[in-house]
């Protein structure tokens, strides 16, 4: 019984309760593992950050339950796009991340960004209403964009927010 409780506690501590994706802590551990493997074997690894654009509007217009449903659906879509050895995590709110273990090339990272963006952009029905949501995506590759997890996270986050800012400027024009 004690072992089962410990396993349950460890599962709760490592997963996001809504989406059942790895949480921020587990994301960081998996990124550290991917970087250690990349260093040891002379490979590349990558990280992709995904932020949902317009998520607040879904919560405001359809309610928080619909927002939760949207997050769960996005989690399913992201998982469907990545390879089994990669890790999709929910960092919090409407932010997700992917750890790409054994990155084939920087071009492969760019293709993954497009796949993730396109998967999220597919319309869905929430509470009887058709909803479309966009995303801002940014990535970083080891060793090109940084040699530490902190460097890669900072680079991918900065790139994601640059994409988000440019989209706002385009919409305002």
Closest CA to 158 of 137, 134, 127: 137
Mean of per-residue pLDDT scores for the chain = 91
Query: In whole angstroms, what is the distance from residue 140 CA to residue 38 CA?
Result: 14
Mean pLDDT of 158-169: 87
32 is catalytic: no
Query: 40-74, pLDDT tens digit by residue?
Result: 999 999 999 999 999 999 999 999 999 999 999 99
Which residues are within 8 A (CB) of 53 and not within 5 positions of it... i.e. 6 or more apart?
A: 133, 134, 135, 136, 164, 167
Catalytic residue among 86, 94, 101, 157: 94
Mean pLDDT of 30-45: 96
Dihedral angle at the C-alpha atoms of 84, 93, 127, 74, nearest 10 degrees? -20
Query: In whole angstroms, what is the distance from residue 102 CA to residue 136 CA?
Result: 23
| pLDDT of 7 above 70 | no
Query: 51-60, pLDDT tens digit by residue?
Result: 999 999 999 9
| pLDDT of 129 above 70 | yes
Output the pLDDT for position 140.
97
User: pLDDT tier at 8 (50, 70, 90 boundaries)?
Assistant: low
State the number of CA atoms in the 13 A half-sphere of 172 facing the CB. Answer: 6
Tokens of 22: 């790895």
Classify domain 2-172 by CATH number.
3.30.70.270
**β-strand partners of 131:** 124
């Amino acid at each position: 019984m004690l072992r089962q409780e410990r396993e349950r506690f460890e599962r709760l501590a490592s997963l996001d309760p809504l989406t059942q994706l790895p949480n921020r802590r587990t994301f960081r551990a998996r990124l550290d593992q991917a970087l250690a493997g990349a260093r040891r074997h002379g490979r590349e690894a990558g990280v992709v950050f995904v932020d949902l654009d317009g998520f607040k509007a879904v919560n405001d217009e359809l309610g928080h339950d619909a927002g939760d449903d949207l997050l769960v659906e996005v989690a399913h879509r992201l998982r469907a796009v990545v390879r089994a050895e990669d890790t999709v995590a929910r960092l919090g709110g409407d932010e997700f991340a992917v750890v790409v273990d054994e990155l084939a090339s920087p071009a492969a990272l760019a293709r993954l960004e497009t796949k993730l963006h396109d998967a999220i952009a597919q319309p869905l029905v929430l509470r009887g209403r058709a909803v479309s949501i966009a995303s801002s995506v940014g990535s970083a590759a080891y060793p090109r964009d940084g040699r530490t997890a902190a460097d890669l996270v900072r680079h991918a986050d900065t790139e994601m927010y640059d994409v988000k800012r440019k989209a706002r400027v385009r919409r305002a024009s």
